[in-house]
Chains A and B, each alone.
Chain A
Amino acid sequence: MQLDAIKQSLSAYLKKFIQKEIAADDEIITSGLVNSLFAMQLILFIEKEFSLKIGNEDLDIKNFNSLNAISRFVGNKKGLTI
Chain B
Amino acid sequence: MELDLNAEQLIAKASFKGFADREILTIADQNDVDEITSQTLLNALAEKGYWGALIPRKYGGLGMDPMSYGLLCEEIGRGSISVLSLLTVQAMVSTAILKWGDDAQKEKYLRPLAEGQMLGAFALSEPEIGSDAKSITSAAEPQNDGHVLNGRKKWVSGGQIASLFLVLAQCAGQPTTFLIEKPLPGFRIEPIKGMLGFKSAMLAELHFDHCLIPAGNLLGKAGFGFSHVAGTALDQGRFCIAWGSVGLSQACLQACAEYVSQRKQFGRPLIDHQLVQEMLADMHTHTQAARLLCYEAAYLKAKSDPRLIAATSMAKYFAAKTAMKSAADAVQIHGANGCSSDYPVQRYFRDAKILEIIEGSNQIQQTVIARYAAQSF
Q: Which residues of A are at the interface with B, using a C-beta cutoff of 8 A? A: 16-17, 35-37, 39-45, 47-48, 55-57, 59-61
Give per-residue flags for B130-158: 1 if the beta carbon is below 8 A from chain A beta carbons, else 0. 00001000000000000000000000000
Contact between chains at A39 and B306 (CB < 8 Å): no
Q: Which residues of chain A have C-beta atoms less than 8 A from B102's C-beta?
A: 56-57
Contact between chains at A48 and B221 (CB < 8 Å): no
Asked if B309 CB lies within 8 Å of chain A CBs, one says yes
The CA of A63 and the CA of B368, in the complex, are separated in Å by: 25
Contact between chains at B231 and A36 (CB < 8 Å): yes
CB within 8 A of B228: which of A16, A40, A45?
A40
The CA of A49 and the CA of B309, in the complex, are separated in Å by: 16
- Known A-B contacts A37-B368, A40-B235; the reply to A59 vs B228 at CB < 8 A is yes
Contact between chains at A41 and B309 (CB < 8 Å): yes
Q: What's the minimum C-beta distance from B56 to chain A, rounded to whole angstroms?
A: 14
Contact between chains at A56 and B304 (CB < 8 Å): no
Q: Which residues of chain A have C-beta atoms less than 8 A from B227's C-beta?
A: 36, 39-40
Asked if B305 CB lies within 8 Å of chain A CBs, one says yes
Asked if B114 CB lies within 8 Å of chain A CBs, one says no
Total interface residues in chain B, CB < 8 Å: 25
Contact between chains at B235 and A48 (CB < 8 Å): no
Asked if B22 CB lies within 8 Å of chain A CBs, one says no
The CA of A16 and the CA of B306, in the complex, are separated in Å by: 12
Contact between chains at B228 and A37 (CB < 8 Å): no
Q: Which residues of chain B have C-beta atoms less than 8 A from A37's C-beta?
A: 231, 309, 368, 371
Asked if B40 CB lies within 8 Å of chain A CBs, one says no
Q: Which residue of A lies closest to B368 (CB)?
A: A37
The CA of A57 and the CA of B224, in the complex, are separated in Å by: 12
Q: Which residues of chain B have C-beta atoms less than 8 A from A16's C-beta?
A: 375-376
Q: Which residues of chain A have C-beta atoms less than 8 A from B231's C-beta?
A: 36-37, 39-40
Give per-residue flags for B220-242: 1 if the beta carbon is below 8 A from chain A beta carbons, else 0. 11011011100110010000000
Q: Which residue of A lies closest to B309 (CB)?
A: A41
Q: Which residues of chain A have C-beta atoms less than 8 A from B228's C-beta?
A: 39-40, 43, 59
Q: Which residue of B lies closest to A42 (CB)?
A: B306
Q: What's the minimum C-beta distance from A38 to chain B, rounded to whole angstroms?
A: 8
Q: Which residues of chain A have C-beta atoms less than 8 A from B134's C-beta?
A: 36
Q: Which residues of chain A have C-beta atoms less than 8 A from B19's C-beta?
A: none
Q: Which residues of chain B have C-beta atoms less than 8 A from A56's C-beta?
A: 100-102, 220-221
- Known A-B contacts A17-B375, A39-B228, A56-B220; the reply to A44 vs B308 at CB < 8 A is yes
In the assembled complex, 22 residue pairs joining A and B whose CB atoms fall closer than 8 Å, in A order, are A16-B376, A36-B134, A36-B231, A37-B231, A37-B368, A37-B371, A39-B227, A39-B228, A40-B228, A41-B309, A42-B306, A43-B228, A44-B304, A44-B308, A48-B303, A48-B304, A56-B102, A57-B102, A59-B100, A59-B221, A59-B224, A61-B223
The CA of A16 and the CA of B223, in the complex, are separated in Å by: 24
Q: Which residues of chain A have C-beta atoms less than 8 A from B273's C-beta?
A: none
Contact between chains at B99 and A48 (CB < 8 Å): no
Q: Which residue of B lies closest to A16 (CB)?
A: B375
